[in-house]
Amino acid sequence: MKWLGFILLSCVLNSAFAEQQKTVDVRPTKEIKTMNLARIAEQIRNGEIDVGKDYSTNFKTGRFHIIHADKLLIDCNNCHYGKKYKADYQLMGKHKPMPDKMPGRLQRSVCLGCHAEGGIATHLYGRSAEW
Amino acid sequence: MAKLVRVIDMERCMGCRACIAACHMENHYTPGSPWNEMVEYENGTYPDVRTIFGTMACMHCEDAPCQKICDEINVHAISKNEYGVVMVDYDKCTGCGYCAPVCPYGVPQLNKQAPQSLYPEQETPYEAIPLAQRHPLHQKKNNVMEKCTFCWHKLEKAIIAGEPELIGKKPEYTPSCDLVCPVNARLFGDIDQQDSEVKQYIGKKKAAQLKKESGTNPQVYYVVRGGDF
Amino acid sequence: MPYNRREFIKTSVALIAAAKMATPLKSIAAVAAKAKHSGILESTIRYVKSTCAHCVNFCGINVKMENDVIRAIYPDPERAPFYNVGICPKGVSGVFNTYNPYRIKKPLKRSNPKKGLDQDPGWVEISWEEAFETITGKLKAIRQDDPRKLIWQHGHGKYLIGDKFPKAFAKAFGTPNLVHRTTTCEAARHVADELTWGYHGFLPDIEHCNLLLNFGGNYFEAEQFARWLDHATTDAKERGMKIVVIEPRLSSTASKADEWIPIRPGKDVVLILGLARLLIKQNTIDEEFLLSTTNATALVAGDETLLKDDNGQLLVWDELTQSAKPFSDNVKPALRGSYLVDGKAYVTAFQHFSNSIEEITPAYVAEEAGVPEKKVFWLAEELAKQVKIGATVVMDGHKLRYRPVAIHTFRGLSAKEFGVQNWRAGLVLQMLLGSIDAVGGINLHSVYKKPQYFDASKAEYPPSRVDLQESVFFPHATHNVAQQVAQTVMDPKHYGLEYIPEMQIFYATNRPFSTSDSQKQFASLKKTYNVVIELVMTETAQMADIVLPDLTYLESWHLSPSRYTPRTKHTAIRQPLTNAYQIEHDAYSILWQLSKRLGILDDYVKNVNKQWKLKKHPLQTGQDYSAEQAVEQIWLEQTKGKDFAYAKEHGFIGKHLSVEKTYLSGVDKKFKGAGKPKMNFYAEQLVHTLANVKQQKKQHSLKMIDLDRYQLALSPLPKKEHGFPTPHREAKAFPFYLITYKRMYRNQSGNTALNPILNALGPDVQENFVLINQKSADQLSIKTGEQVVVETRVGKVQGKAKVIEGIRPDTLAISYHYGQQSLAFPDSAKQGIWINSVLENYSDVVSGMESFNDSKCRLIKV
């Protein structure tokens, strides 16, 4: 929820001071990166950015890759690992034999950043369990 | 209410893969799309090393991301019934593949051709069982998602017979993977039942859910020893 | 099926009764309605009990039939208290052992006279009539000439119809040459048992054991009693039993153990003797057991024989009268010391043993066996601590010895050149601990059933059998010598065989593929006329002149063998569920046909009755018996008249054994106390066997008998030299030890290679690998997946490397039952390495046991 507030505030500030930002350091900070992602996500949801109607993971025409790779510019390596995969990939899953339909290995915890409850993207993952 | 839960005791599991074979046999295995997989790896270095064994099938999450995304794109092929069993409707599934990357456990299997003969050379009587004679969950189609169903086709019989309390106890009402284990490393039952065996096991043996941070609330618990968690 | 009123009431009642369930009524209705409208064609489901025969566990199974199609195989829950709780993946996927397009469906005759693994036999289908006529013709000629020229070989066949039918046939035919596969399995362990306590077979008393030392027995991947040991040890571990697994590779069994001791291959006997030495030094030994039950008190002369009186009674040193006397109630035998009797020097067998292992210090064990000194000390301490010498426990009103330590092995100690001596060492150690037939120790099966095992071997020459069983070559080989047949057939004169074998019938065995140094086996098959009875076109079948189809275990009747446990036993049947390819005969009816056509049917039937001990329910001569009818007679006899309908309904009948039967009918009954024979701590008969071997060598000028080799193998006590098999001594230029092992998903017979479910259990099951330690792999720059060549003194094989932590750096391991060669198999079933083809074979001359784990090799990156 606080992300939304922050975004709104940033939008307000952004538009208010747009004229005076020509000399401001525009190297993307973490907040600005996320802000951009959130803005793009909203634009996708309200149709401003067209990502097609093909609900599939086809990396040329499917919405999945158009959204994440083409529009949100998430690097391929963020999700797909080549032959090696990180030690904290997932319990046991890192050693899971891959069925032939799934090319590459997926770092699934990356998804949580945006798709967990309270994130900027479609809510897919429930509230984190208490430890 | 009833909540069906599986417990896999990795302390006891010896890695024989009988449960993998049982799932394949029970559910008319589609080559390349296993519903149950053995995960086996070494922990430590010589000579202080052990191999860890565990199997992964569908977690039948309470907050299933596969169901969420399938609803989000208005396909609604994945549903969760009142016993907690998550299942896919082959007729509604468009084979888009969204459910596969969103599942933290890598469960959904996108098939190519199903049903598929295990012996390309000559169909056997087992493979020749007509589709119309098979349970809907075994009437597979090409290019759809398929996955573990907690052997719902067996559990359903218990409910119809009015014996839901025997789920996980009577062999006909027990998922086949849980049934065949030679070392009793698997339990299945209703966690809400009084004197529930699975509930006692989870408590006593400190069984836990995997990838809790995903907040999916799986209905499969693991007694985990070694490996990362 | 309409959700009718009756179901509604039934459901309501159930709901009220199980009010805590709180399942809304409409959910059940919804489920039922959905099921009804899903348009499923009706089918008839029934369940049939039977017994699996993939391996020698003979698990109870419950087969689900859907309209006469085998739909699934589950474990039989009724069998759980008596043996198996579940079933393994082979049993689960047994459907495809039967439904298999690669099955041989009709008799076949070869049209290409050239035999070889690379030769297409040019099979021509023939009728059963022609097959029987041809085979009978050949058999008749042989029988008239010399019936010994027929060799019957089986392996798994023993468990399909039993070895008693083939034995009866061989007897009626007049050939002594019936050969089973035990020397490819665990014969050395059996012979060590027989030499020591007069029969064979044992089980650790897991229920009460607190420390289990397992030398390479791998019951989570294979093993004879696996489906009992797996759940019994898993339960016992939770109860608190400690498991120590001693083997060079981290097997699944080692993975679940408390301690894994990666011992150098072949050196187990060194560790065992090192432990014995420490126990003796610390005096943590069961003196009472040694004195009362074993011949550890016997007096050993300079020539290694034992001192006896004129009646042949063993003499001991009586501490009371300070003289040599037979062991009676008034005598107090000395365990230690050396004594003079009639001017000659004697030492007690115990003392002799103690002296002989003096050099086997923990430092020596560390040096030779690769087990750190600290570990040796620790293991001895644990043994001493856990064994509780002197303790008793009361069960069912009986006061019993309580020694909760057991030493177990299957092929780990036995599949070696010195297999007999390795397990003898295990038995000797347990005699020191007093854990034999004690509660929590090892439980022996049918103690002293055959006293003749305590006699020396006649070391017969010339040999009467083609496998040289109990001849001068393998004087105590009491379980046939499977791999020897091929070698004798290649050169009968060399072995002094007085006849030249002409015909071999192979029943359900792929023996040549499964032995060590296996190429030699195939060469011999070119020399005989071969008939093979098999399910699929195995490598052995490919070398046949005539191949006959067989029925699978799901298609045939049998009085099944069954496995016992320390507290249970059971009698089981197997019954047919189908006949997938309408095959008319199986080995049972083939034998019946052949006997009939040879005119020896009556004799055959009489021998069948003898073999099966059918006294009250014999088969009658003058009538035919189907397999079902024969099984019924055997069932009636073995269950003392229990109705056969019971067998068909339940599949088996089980029995719980009394405490007396389990703990008090073994060594305590047969050996304990004065006036009874004694368990052989010291296996004196081997000394006399050696003398007979020497005599035969001299008399017949047998140049091929290397007396040094026989002297070492026929030692009355195990010694450290038994840790150095021939390849270890000779193949110095080959740096790696090479061992084999069995994986859960395959058998040697070949039909498991064709099973699509067994090939789909993971990406790593369709082939095998060269297992190499990470550090060794780094030194040679080898990574997982790369091609490597393994070269022994026999030959080379190539395959994929798999780099792991769970193996000794100086050892490589390659599983067997991969690398099929049959021309009839698809490529998918021929993946992997045929390791048997390059394993060195130096058979144990005592028992005939093949060596599988003694080879040395080098590794070359391709």
Q: Residue C77: its pLDDT value, please?
A: 98
Condensed to tens digits (0 to 9), the pLDDT of residues C461-488 reads 999 999 999 999 999 999 999 999 999 9
- The Cα–Cα gap between B24 and C297 comes to 60
* Residue C8 confidence class, pLDDT cut points 50, 70, 90: very low
Residue C461 near residue C474 (C-beta atoms within 8 A): no
Percent of chain C whose pLDDT exceeds 90: 92
Segment (H or E) for C634: helix C627-638
Condensed to tens digits (0 to 9), the pLDDT of residues B171-195 reads 999 999 999 999 999 999 999 999 9
| Contacts with C756 from chain B: Cβ below 8 Å | 31, 118-119
- The Cα–Cα gap between B60 and B47 comes to 38
Q: CB B63 to CB A90 under 8 A? A: no
In three-state secondary structure terms, C790 is: strand
**From B134, B135, B181, residue closest to C86, measured CB to CB:** B181
**From A79, A93, A117, residue closest to B105, measured CB to CB:** A93
Q: CB B31 to CB C38 under 8 A? A: no
**From B128, B184, B194, residue closest to C231, measured CB to CB:** B184
- The Cα–Cα gap between B63 and C285 comes to 62
Q: Residue B95: its pLDDT value, please?
A: 94
Q: How far is B38 from chain A (nearest CA, A)?
A: 7
C639-655: average pLDDT:
97
Q: CB C23 to CB B2 under 8 A? A: yes
Q: CB C744 to CB B179 under 8 A? A: no
The chains in contact with chain A, meaning 3 or more Cβ pairs closer than 8 Å, are: B, C
| Contacts with A100 from chain C: Cβ below 8 Å | none
**From B21, B51, B162, residue closest to C250, measured CB to CB:** B51
| Contacts with C762 from chain A: Cβ below 8 Å | 97
| pTM reported for the whole predicted model | 0.92
Q: CB A108 to CB B209 under 8 A? A: no
> Is residue C685 over pLDDT 70?
yes
Burial class of residue C665 in the structure, from the number of CB atoms within 10 Å of its CB (0-12 exposed, 13-18 middle, 19+ buried): middle
**From B65, B98, B106, residue closest to A55, measured CB to CB:** B98
Least Cα distance to B7 among B66, B60, B47 occurs for B60
| Full DSSP string of A9-23 | HHHHHHHHTSGGGTT
A1 contact B CB<8A: no
Condensed to tens digits (0 to 9), the pLDDT of residues B100-145 reads 888 988 899 999 998 999 998 789 999 999 999 999 999 999 999 9
Q: Which residue of B has its CA nearest to C26?
A: B82
Q: Residue C748: its pLDDT value, please?
A: 75
Condensed to tens digits (0 to 9), the pLDDT of residues B161-173 reads 999 999 999 999 9
Interface probe with C: pick from B4, B19, B45, B49, most Cβ of C within 10 Å: B49
Q: CB C27 to CB B82 under 8 A? A: yes
Q: Residue A4: its pLDDT value, please?
A: 62
* Residue C756 confidence class, pLDDT cut points 50, 70, 90: very high
More confident residue, B121 or B159: B159
Q: CB B214 to CB A122 under 8 A? A: no
Q: CB A109 to CB B34 under 8 A? A: no
Q: CB C761 to CB B134 under 8 A? A: no
Condensed to tens digits (0 to 9), the pLDDT of residues C327-348 reads 998 999 999 999 999 999 999 9
Tell me which residues of chain A have a C-beta less than 8 Å from any C-beta of chain C.
97
Cross-strand partners of C559: C573
Question: In C260-394, where does DSSP find H-type helix?
Answer: 268-282, 287-293, 349-356, 362-369, 373-387
- The Cα–Cα gap between B156 and A110 comes to 37
* Residue C747 confidence class, pLDDT cut points 50, 70, 90: confident
Q: For residue C797, give the amino acid letter.
A: V
Residue C65 near residue C46 (C-beta atoms within 8 A): yes
Q: CB A124 to CB B100 under 8 A? A: no
**From B62, B213, B228, residue closest to A87, measured CB to CB:** B228
C149-162: average pLDDT:
93
* Other beta carbons less than 10 A from residue C527's beta carbon: 17
Interface probe with B: pick from A58, A92, A127, most Cβ of B within 10 Å: A92
- The Cα–Cα gap between C579 and C576 comes to 8
* Residue A88 confidence class, pLDDT cut points 50, 70, 90: very low
| Full DSSP string of C20-40 | GG---HHHHHHHHHHHHHT-P
Question: In B27-117, where does DSSP find H-type helix?
Answer: 65-72, 99-102
Condensed to tens digits (0 to 9), the pLDDT of residues C594-608 reads 999 999 999 999 999
In three-state secondary structure terms, C693 is: helix
Q: CB A126 to CB B62 under 8 A? A: yes
Interface confidence: ipTM more than 0.95: yes
* Residue C537 confidence class, pLDDT cut points 50, 70, 90: very high
The chains in contact with chain B, meaning 3 or more Cβ pairs closer than 8 Å, are: A, C
* Residue C814 confidence class, pLDDT cut points 50, 70, 90: very high
Segment (H or E) for B40: strand B37-45
* Residue C150 confidence class, pLDDT cut points 50, 70, 90: very high
**From B62, B217, B228, residue closest to A91, measured CB to CB:** B228
Give contacts of B 44-103 with C, CB under 8 A: 44-47, 49-53, 82
The domains of chain B, with CATH numbers, are: 4-223 (3.30.70.20)
Q: How far is C262 from chain A (nearest CA, A)?
A: 25
Condensed to tens digits (0 to 9), the pLDDT of residues A17-76 reads 444 445 666 666 666 667 788 899 899 989 999 999 999 988 789 999 899 888 888 877
B9 contact C CB<8A: no
Q: For residue C327, give the amino acid letter.
A: F
Interface probe with C: pick from B8, B11, B17, most Cβ of C within 10 Å: B17
Condensed to tens digits (0 to 9), the pLDDT of residues C249-259 reads 999 999 999 99
C346-367: average pLDDT:
98
Q: CB A106 to CB B97 under 8 A? A: no
> Is residue C731 over pLDDT 60?
yes
Condensed to tens digits (0 to 9), the pLDDT of residues C76-98 reads 999 999 999 999 999 999 999 99
Q: CB B25 to CB C92 under 8 A? A: yes
Number of CB pairs, chain B paired with chain C, less than 8 A apart: 215
CA–CA distances in Å: residue B94 to residues A56, A98, B103, B111, B131: 9, 22, 17, 12, 20
Percent of chain B whose pLDDT exceeds 70: 98
CA–CA distances in Å: residue B34 to residues B4, B108, B176: 22, 9, 14
Number of CB pairs, chain A paired with chain B, less than 8 A apart: 122
> β-strand C150-154 against C123-125: which pairing, if any?
unpaired
B75 contact A CB<8A: yes
Q: Residue A126: its pLDDT value, please?
A: 81
* Residue C16 confidence class, pLDDT cut points 50, 70, 90: very low
| Contacts with A97 from chain C: Cβ below 8 Å | 762-764
Q: CB B18 to CB C89 under 8 A? A: yes
**From B2, B82, B162, residue closest to C14, measured CB to CB:** B162
Q: CB B164 to CB C761 under 8 A? A: no
| Full DSSP string of C90-109 | HHHTTHHHHS-TTB--S-EE
Q: Which residue of C has its CA nearest to B33?
A: C760
Q: Residue C716: its pLDDT value, please?
A: 98
Q: Residue C318: its pLDDT value, please?
A: 97
Percent of chain A whose pLDDT exceeds 90: 13
Condensed to tens digits (0 to 9), the pLDDT of residues C182-208 reads 999 999 999 999 999 999 999 999 999
